[in-house]
Amino acid sequence: MTTIDTLPGSIVEDRYPTRCKNYPMMLRRPDPVVWPTESGTTAAGPIDADTVSDYDARGFLTIDSLLSPDEVALYRDELDRLAADPAVKADERTVVEKTSNEVRSIFEVHRISPAIAELVRDPRVVDRARQLLGSDVYVHQSRINYKPGFKGGSFYWHSDFETWHAEDGMPAMRAVSISIALTDNHPFNGGLMIMPGSHRTFVSCVGETPADHYKESLREQEIGTPDNDSLTVLAGRYGIEQFTGPAGSAVMFDSNCMHGSNGNITPFPRSNIFVVFNSVENTLVEPFAAPQPRPPFIASRDFTPVGRE
Amino acid sequence: MTTIDTLPGSIVEDRYPTRCKNYPMMLRRPDPVVWPTESGTTAAGPIDADTVSDYDARGFLTIDSLLSPDEVALYRDELDRLAADPAVKADERTVVEKTSNEVRSIFEVHRISPAIAELVRDPRVVDRARQLLGSDVYVHQSRINYKPGFKGGSFYWHSDFETWHAEDGMPAMRAVSISIALTDNHPFNGGLMIMPGSHRTFVSCVGETPADHYKESLREQEIGTPDNDSLTVLAGRYGIEQFTGPAGSAVMFDSNCMHGSNGNITPFPRSNIFVVFNSVENTLVEPFAAPQPRPPFIASRDFTPVGRE
């Protein structure tokens, strides 16, 4: 086990070493999945006990109709408006597809769009995150994703936590993502695939993070990519599930779920709103395996609790 | 409607013009799907009447366990043996993946492997083709396909008939393909997607076929590719279905089904045996839209009926 300096004068044991060896490792997760509150119990919230227990075991949960059809229409209009705005397209927080020059993602979108800021504060969203993480939460990252039809690219297998730990300095697995579908997710249009149960295993990746890695890694993951053997073991043990459902449904998943998505040749595009909540008791330190932290629009260092501003 | 010369002295009206205009067209198919025999009735065979009727309406049918588990094991060994054979890898009938140098397809495999020749002659296979096409049949094309895990590429939407007509000179839509799965087809590992009902519409493609087009088109389809508008109309009208099922199951589909497959980032590879049967009453003439016919290992000009040698 590696020990590394994180802040002047302190030594923090790194329980999740990655990008520091020339061989991969599969490590058992010491952190809980559903975090207890200070009083030692699961926080109250909108998620029923069975679903919490299932989330604990599988690392994700789905919500059938988080948004009404009217809300879906509203947010789709907002996404179209943002993607068509020349100022937004020129913004460094916007990622443009290599080949087509089309907008693929817009980061820190809750600071760009008041409508999305409101959604992040919505009790249907933030109260679920608080319940699972057992504390107040802040937005570590927000974005909207557009995956076009016909030529939508794949997103290779990864654990978000591996990147957030290595490149952003997130200490523990105490973060949860919510992806809210604004288009129908079929089994065949490149939706999210998760290996249920994989969140209990940390796959330590080979390689060393280069400077400014985020500029490339947002387009195509290379460093921080799990090895084939680990993926084969995890897929063999846990299988693969796909998140399918109509526009307005949502999936919440633990920061360490092994997930990815295939490409999409169908005419059916996909778009979603994606928000990562991190516990205010798990704020970022120095990166564990990168020369410098990523910019704040990708990994916020404003730890103000959502709804407590 | 175009008229073209096909054989010296004859003029054949081309009911399926393609690659001859600078705009796409969607044309109604005049050919039947299930072909009557000379006596005007559907041929007898192993497919029950409901399934024949469903095939007529949707353009494809599935067979739950065409091969037994023992047979699957036998043919998987045969595929491994062929892919590992240096003489096979060097053969012009073998297609090798651009990036990985791995075998992706082996054409005319029923002339390379006696085991696969026997499968083609098996009544479970050939009698079904005879039943649907209402006549004796010959092998227009055979191949085995290997789609690796982790980095399996996509195969874009196409009608096989469009290519066979344009480049091989197949006059009518009187051919059927069978794809026999040797690995499990999940909804997420790049299996076949079909638009059910699309076989009734011929999508005439834009462009002109260059010489030796097949050398590139086997790797990545460009010419002969349907336009986005036609695909959007067909997918909107018919939807998309995926062929899923365990190893040993099979799908038979009409030559004009609009089909394709997504990429595959999962660790689960796919392999299958693929045979195209054409009616002996529909043998090849000169290509309808290409400067020269493709080589016989891709489009056979040996019209000997299967099982009547």
pLDDT single digits (tens) B12-34: 579 999 998 888 999 999 999 99
- From start to end of chain B, where are the E strands? 3-5, 11-13, 25-28, 60-63, 94-96, 103-107, 137-147, 155-159, 175-181, 192-194, 201-204, 241-242, 250-254, 258-261, 270-279
Answer yes or no: is pLDDT of A222 > 80.
Answer: no
Nearest to B242 among A150, A157, A188 (CB): A188
- Domain count of chain B? 1
Check residue A216 and give its pLDDT.
Answer: 66
Question: Is B176:B277 a contact under the CB 8 Å cutoff?
Answer: yes
Q: Give mean pLDDT, residues B222-247.
A: 94
Residue B69: inside a domain: yes
Residue B201: count of CB within 10 angstroms of its CB: 19
Residue B8 pLDDT: 45
**Is residue A271 one of the residues assigned to a domain?**
yes
Q: From A259, which residue of chain B is nearest by alpha-carbon distance?
A: B266
Which residue type sits at B62? Answer: T
How many beta carbons lie within 10 A of that of residue B188, not counting itself? 23
Residue A2 pLDDT:
44
Judged against a pLDDT cut of 70, whether residue A9 lies above it is answered with no
Query: Quick one: pLDDT band at residue A253, thresholds 50, 70, 90?
Result: very high
Q: Does A253 touch chain B (CB under 8 A)?
A: no
**Lowest-pLDDT range, A10-14, B123-127, B211-215, B288-292?**
A10-14
Instruction: Flag whether residue A65 sits within 8 Å of chain B, measured between CB atoms.
Output: no
Overall average pLDDT of the B290-296 stretch: 95
Task: Classify residue B252: in a domain, yes or no.
Answer: yes
Taking an 8 Å cut-off on Cβ atoms, the answer to whether B266 and A190 are in contact is no
Q: Is the pLDDT of residue B269 over 50?
A: yes
Give yes or no for residue B193 having a pLDDT over 60.
yes
Counting residues of chain B whose pLDDT is more than 90, the rounded percentage is 83
| Residue B266: closest CA among A177, A214, A238, A104 | A238
Could you tell me if residue A1 is inside a domain? no
Q: Is A210 an 8 Å CB contact of chain B? A: no
Alpha-carbon span B193 to A239, nearest angstrom: 21
What pLDDT is attached to residue B9? 43
Structure tokens at A28: 């058992």
A168: pLDDT strictly greater than 60: yes
In a domain, B217, yes or no: yes
| B157, B187, B235 ranked by CB distance to A268: nearest | B235
Which of A157, A158, A189, A240 has the most B C-beta neighbours within 10 Å, making it the best mutation to test the interface with B? A240
Judged by DSSP in three states, A237 sits in helix
Comparing alpha-carbon positions, the chain B residue that sits nearest to A258 is B266
Q: Which of A147, A151, A154 to mutate to test the interface with B (most CBs of B within 10 A)?
A: A154
Q: Cβ contacts (< 8 Å) between A156 and chain B: which residues?
A: 265
Distances B81 to B76, B89, B115, B141, B145 between C-alpha atoms, Å: 9, 11, 12, 21, 14
Q: Which residues of B touch A230 (CB under 8 A)?
A: none
Quick check: ipTM above 0.90? no
For residue B252, the domain's CATH number is 2.60.120.620
pLDDT: which is higher, B207 or B257: B257
Residue A128 scores a pLDDT above 60? yes
Is B187 within a domain? yes
User: Mean pLDDT of all residues in chain A?
Assistant: 92
- Top residue of B185, B198, B228, B266 to mutate, by most chain A CBs within 10 Å, is B266
The answer on pLDDT for B46 being more than 80 is yes
Domain annotation covers residue B288: no
pLDDT tens string A172-198: 999 999 999 999 999 999 999 999 999
Q: Which domain holds residue B203?
A: 3-32+59-279
Q: What is the pLDDT of residue A56?
A: 98
The predicted pLDDT at position A102 comes to 87
CA dihedral (B178, B184, B187, B191) positive or negative = negative
Helix residue spans in A205-292 (DSSP H):
213-217, 228-238
**Of the partner residues B232, B262, B267, the one whose CB lies closest to the CB of residue A265:** B262
Residue B179 in domain: yes
What's residue A99's pLDDT? 77
Q: Measure in Å the smallest separation between the Cα of B264 and chain A Cα atoms.
A: 6
C-alpha pair distances (Å), A243 with each of A38, A61, A287, B52: 33, 10, 31, 34
Q: Are A4 and A12 in contact (CB under 8 A)?
A: yes
